[in-house]
Structure 1
C-alpha cells in the first residue's frame, strides 16, 4: 500500500504567527480570574480588539453580580521583537488602531506576550496617546508609532486595571443619568466631572448648598463650598441662599471681588432671608467693600450704625449695637454696663446656638475688659505720680482681685468652646487673652512711671512682663500660621497686627519692622486696600500704647491744671503708709454664662 505523502498533498499551511496567537491567547485567559472577570473574545470581524472583559462585583460575602463595566484588550505577540537595553520591548502600532480603541468609552489596553519568558506586558491606550500628543501633536497623520512595553501584567497591575475599569463604569453610569433624552431638548442640566471623576449636576449642587450651606458656614467648610460653587454651571436658577453662602465662603478665603459679585446677586432677593442672614449679608458686603478700599472706614462705620439702628438685624448686630451704646457712654458707666448686660441676656434668652452664645459672651468679656481698664486709669488719677509704689496701693490690689475673676471668665469660655468643638472661638479667646496681657502691661507700666507732666517712656519694662509678652508673640505667630493654612486672611492679619504692636511696645524695632513688612505684603497681595490704609495709621504712631500715652497725658494735665487753679498742690508726694484712697468700681458682679 502506498504511504500517504503529506508534503505532496494540497493542505492548508501552518502559519507560525497563528500558532503564536493561539499560545498567547491560551496563556492570557488564566491571568484574569473568573471570580472577578468574564473574558469574551472578539471573534467576528475583528478590527482591532481581541477581547472585551467584563467586571464582576462582590455585593455581599460570596454573592457576585455582572456589572456591564468593561475593558478592551488588543493582544500583540511576536517572536522577532528584540529586547531593548532597559528590558523593554518596542512594537509598531497603527494610528488607525489607536483611534479605533479611543472611539470606545471603555478603558482599553495594549498587551504584549513575550513567548520565551511567557510574560505579558501592557500599556494603557490613554497613556500612550498622551505621550503621542506631547511628542507629535499631529500624530494621527502618521501611519505607525512605536510603543514601548515595560510594565508587567502581574497581580498588582490586574488589580489596578480592575479598579480603573470599575471607576470608569461608575462615572459613565453617573453621566448617563444626566444625559438628555429627545423629549428634554429644552432642559439645561449642566454637569461637571472633576479630577476624581465625580459627576456634579448644577441643580443638585444648588439644592444642597441652599439646604446645608448655613451648617457648612458654621463649620467653616469654606473650601468645600467654593469647590461646589465652581462645579455648578449653568446656574440660572441659583437660589439667593446659594449665592449668599458662596459669597461668604469667598469672603472668608480673601477672594473679595468674587465674594461681592455673589453677595450683590443675593442682595437682590434678601427679603427672603431671616434677620440673622440679612445681617450676615449686609456685614459681609460692607466689610468686603471696606477691605478693598471701595468705601472708607468712616463710611463703613456710618453704614454699620444705620444697620444697627434699622431694627432688621440678627443676634450678632443686636449685641454689637448694645456694645456700641456702652462704649459711647460718657458718664455713669456702671449703669451703662448693667443695661448692656441686661440687653445681652434678653437677646440670648431663646438662643439655642452655643457657638453664637460664645460669640456674644466674648463681647461681654470685651466690654468688661474695657470697663476694668477705664476704672484703673480713673482711680489712678487721684495719686498718679504722687505715690512711691502705686502697684502696692489698695486700688491696684483690689483691681488685681477683679482681674483674677475676669480671667476665670475667659477660661470658662475657652472650656465651653472646647466642649462644643468651636475651634475658631478658642483661637479668638486666646488672642483676646494676649490682647489683655498687652493692654494691662501698657497701663501698669506707664501709670507707674509718671513724671510731673509726662510719662517716663524711657523706663524699662519689668522682666516678668517682657517674658510674658514675648511668649504671647510666639503664640500669635502659631495662630496666624493656622489661620493662613485655612485661609482666614483677615484673622491672620489681626494676629500679625497685634504682634507688631507688642514688639513695638517692647522696643524690638527690628522684629516689629519684619512683621510690618509681612502685613503690608499680605494686604497688597490680597488687595486689602482698606485694611492697608487703616494699618498704615497704626504703623505711623497710632499703636494702642501710643494712643494711651497721648490721650492720658492730655487728660492728666488738664486735671492737674484745674486742681492747681483751685489751690490744690497736686505735685507733692503722698505718704504711702497713710494714703488710703477708696477706689470706685463700675461693677463688682461679673456676668454669668449659661449654655443651651
Structure 2
C-alpha cells in the first residue's frame, strides 16, 4: 500500500459526541485533586452511571463514593434566569436513586468551559412536586444553574463523608424481619446524625437506671431519655428513673409528667418506690409554687412511717425540731438523740441512712458549741467585761471543739471513701455554716453599740480572709452541684455563698451570686424558690437576721428596764405615802412580813381577802395562822405565786422567774387597796 492509499483508506468515522464526552471527562478529572479523590469509569454494562468518585481521607481510601451521570453540550441557549435546560430520562433518574450512594447529574458546557451540577434527590423532589397528582412522564427537563468549582467540590467532599458516617451507623442499627418487609424495631436519626433505637434505650434505662441514679448521673439519664422517643410500652420504672433525674436537674414539669405516667402502672413498683415518687412530686410542686410549705409538710408527715424514706424524714424532722425548740438544752438534746438511736436501730436502716444520721449529729454538735459561745459572749457583754470562764470550762470547751473537728474530718473522709458526693458536700457546707455563724456571733455581740444599736466594729483581716476562703469553697461546691444537676442543693450552696460574701462586705460579688440565682430560678420556672431569694435579698441573711434579733433584744431589755423603773418608783411612792399617813386601822390588827416589801399591818378581818389576793394556798394559810398563834410574825415570800408555805422559801432566788417585779408591784398595790399599811 502506497502512502497515498494509506491516507485515503476507508476508516470508521470519529463521533463528535464521543469526542465531546471524552473531552468533558478529562476536564472533569482535572478538577478533582488526586490526593482527595479516586475517579473510576463505569465501563462494563453501563446502565446510567458514567463515573464513581471515591473519597480519600488522610491518605486512605474510604469506599465512600458517589455516582456521576455526565452530560455535555457544545452550546445551549440559556434561560432568562441564567439556567441551562437539559432533558433526562426518568428511568435513569430512578436508577441513580435506587442505591444508597449519593448521585449527581453534571452538565459540561464546552462553549463556557463550565460545569453545572444538580443532586438527583433535589431533581426527584421537584419532579414529585410538579406531578404530585398525575403519573410521571418518561422524561424530565432539568434546569442546571449550580456551578461546579473547587469550592463546591470541597463542600461536596465534606457532605459525602458525613453521609458515609450516617450510612454506616444506619446499617448497624437496621434490623429487618425475617421476610424483610419491616424493621424489627424503630430507629431515630437526630439532627446531629446520631442514630438510636428507642426500644433499646428504654431497656437500658430500665436495667441500669437505678445505678445511674445512685451515682448521681442525672444528665446522662436525661440524655438517654431524649433518645427514647417515640416511647412505646414504657414501664413505671422507666418513668420513675427519668422523673427522679428530671427532679434533681430542676426540670420539675418534666418530673411531674413522668411521675404521672408512673402512676398509671404503680402496681409494678415497690411500695417504697411509690413513696419516693410522692416525695419527689411534692418537692417539685413546692419548687414550682404549685403548693406551699405547709401543704408540703402534710405530705411529708404521711411518709414518716415508710420503711426507708421514713427514716430519712424522721432524721430531718428530729434535727429541725431540735433546732427550733426553746426547751432546756439537755431536754431537747435527749429527744434528738433518742430519735436518732431509734432510726439507727431500725432493720431498714441502710449505710446511707447511717451516714445521714451521723451528719445530723455532727451538725448538732457544731451548733451546740456555737450556742455555748453565744451564751458566754452575752454574759461577757452584759457584765461589761467582768465575766470570765473558769479553767475547767475552758478545757471542756476545747475538748468539745477538738472532738467536733475530728468528727468533721472523719465524716468527710468516710463520705469520700464511699463516693457519696451528696453527703460529702453537705458535710462541707455544714462546717462552713458553723464557722460562719461563730464568726458573726463574736463580731455582732462584741461589736454592738448598745446606745446607738449599731455594730461599730469592723471585721479583722483574719476573719475577712476566712470568709473569702469559705465563699470560694462554697462556690466550688455550687459548681459541683450544677455539674451533677441537683437544683435544690445548687440554690442552697449559692445562698450560703451569698451570705458569706455579704457578711465580708464583698457586696459586688454577692450581688453577682444573687443575680445568678435569680436567673436560674427564672429560666427554670422554680417559682417556689422566688420568695426565698426575695427574703435573702431583703435582709434575710443569717447575720442580718441575728443582728436584728440582738437589736430587738437590747431594745426590749431597755424597755423592760424602763418599765421596771416605773414599777419600782410606784412601789417606793406607796411606801412613802404609808409612812406619811397615820395608822387608821380600827379593830384587831395582825402583822405580816411580806418579802421583799417589808412589814405590814392589816385589819384581821381583811386577812383572808389579802391571802386570796396573794394567792396563798390552804396549807400555807394554816401554817401562817399557827405561827401567829405563838406570837411570831409570819413571813410570806411574794416572789412565789402561789405561796405554798410560810417562811423565806428561797428568798431572792425566787426572783429569777420572769415577771417577778410585776408580781411584787401587784402585791404592793393589792395590799394598799385592801387596807394594809407598811410599817
TM norm structure 2: 0.63
Checking the alignment, whether the CA contact within 8 Å between 2:32 and 2:153 is kept in structure 1 is no
Mapping of 1:101-116 within 5 angstroms? 103-104=97-98, 106-108=100-102
C-alpha separation in 2, matches of 1:378 and 1:124: 87
C-alpha separation in 2, matches of 1:226 and 1:405: 43
Can you give the 5+ residue segments of structure 2 that lack an aligned partner in the other structure? 57-61, 76-82, 109-114, 131-139, 565-638, 640-650, 657-679
Checking the alignment, whether the CA contact within 8 Å between 1:171 and 1:199 is kept in structure 2 is yes
1:209 to 205, 208, 211: 205
Residue by residue, what CA displacement relative to the aligned partner does 1:322-366 show, whole Å, maximum 9, x if unpaired? Answer: 43454465341342243244235335886356xx65444333322
2:523 to 519, 522, 525: 525
Residue by residue, what CA displacement relative to the aligned partner does 1:281-329 show, whole Å, maximum 9, x if unpaired? Answer: 2222111111111111222223223322456735533433443454465
Compare 141-150 and 389-398 and name the one that shifted more. Answer: 389-398
Checking the alignment, whether the CA contact within 8 Å between 1:290 and 1:297 is kept in structure 2 is yes
Checking the alignment, whether the CA contact within 8 Å between 2:117 and 2:144 is kept in structure 1 is no
> What SS does the aligned partner of 1:448 have?
helix
Mapping of 1:281-300 within 5 angstroms? 281-300=277-296
Can you give the 5+ residue segments of structure 1 that lack an aligned partner in the other structure? 56-66, 82-90, 115-120, 571-596
Equivalent pairs counted in the alignment come to 530
Mapping of 1:459-470 within 5 angstroms? 459-470=457-468
Query: In the alignment, what sits opposite 1:11?
Result: 12
Query: In the alignment, what sits opposite 1:72?
Result: 66
Q: Shift of residue 506 of structure 1?
A: 3.6
Query: In the alignment, what sits opposite 1:193?
Result: 189
Mapping of 1:6-155 within 5 angstroms? 7=8, 9-13=10-14, 15-20=18-23, 41=42, 43-51=44-52, 71-74=65-68, 103-104=97-98, 106-108=100-102, 143-150=143-150
Q: Shift of residue 23 of structure 1?
A: 6.3
- For the pair shown, which has the larger CA radius of gyration, 1 or 2? 2
Query: In the alignment, what sits opposite 1:339?
Result: 338
> What SS does the aligned partner of 1:71 have?
strand
Checking the alignment, whether the CA contact within 8 Å between 2:315 and 2:357 is kept in structure 1 is yes
Q: Shift of residue 174 of structure 1?
A: 1.3
Q: Shift of residue 524 of structure 1?
A: 2.2
> What SS does the aligned partner of 2:174 have?
helix
Query: In the alignment, what sits opposite 2:417?
Result: 419
Specify which structure has the bigger relative contact order, considering alpha-carbon pairs within 8 angstroms and separated by 6 or more residues. Answer: 1
Mapping of 1:225-236 within 5 angstroms? 225-236=221-232
C-alpha separation in 1, matches of 2:318 and 2:205: 33
C-alpha separation in 1, matches of 2:144 and 2:152: 23
C-alpha separation in 2, matches of 1:176 and 1:413: 52
User: Could you say if the C-alpha distance between residues 168 and 306 of structure 1 is closer, same or farther in structure 2, counting changes exceeding 3 Å?
Assistant: same
User: Could you say if the C-alpha distance between residues 492 and 311 of structure 1 is closer, same or farther in structure 2, counting changes exceeding 3 Å?
Assistant: closer
Q: Shift of residue 239 of structure 1?
A: 0.8
User: Could you say if the C-alpha distance between residues 458 and 397 of structure 1 is closer, same or farther in structure 2, counting changes exceeding 3 Å?
Assistant: farther
RMSD: 5.1
Query: In the alignment, what sits opposite 2:623?
Result: none
Residue by residue, what CA displacement relative to the aligned partner does 1:399-454 show, whole Å, maximum 9, x if unpaired? Answer: 34322321232222333333344445444333222212211112233343567799
Mapping of 1:512-591 within 5 angstroms? 512-551=510-549
Query: In the alignment, what sits opposite 1:313?
Result: 309
User: Could you say if the C-alpha distance between residues 18 and 520 of structure 1 is closer, same or farther in structure 2, counting changes exceeding 3 Å?
Assistant: closer
> What SS does the aligned partner of 1:431 have?
helix
Residue by residue, what CA displacement relative to the aligned partner does 1:556-593 show, whole Å, maximum 9, x if unpaired? Answer: 9999979x9885899xxxxxxxxxxxxxxxxxxxxxxx
Q: Shift of residue 240 of structure 1?
A: 0.9
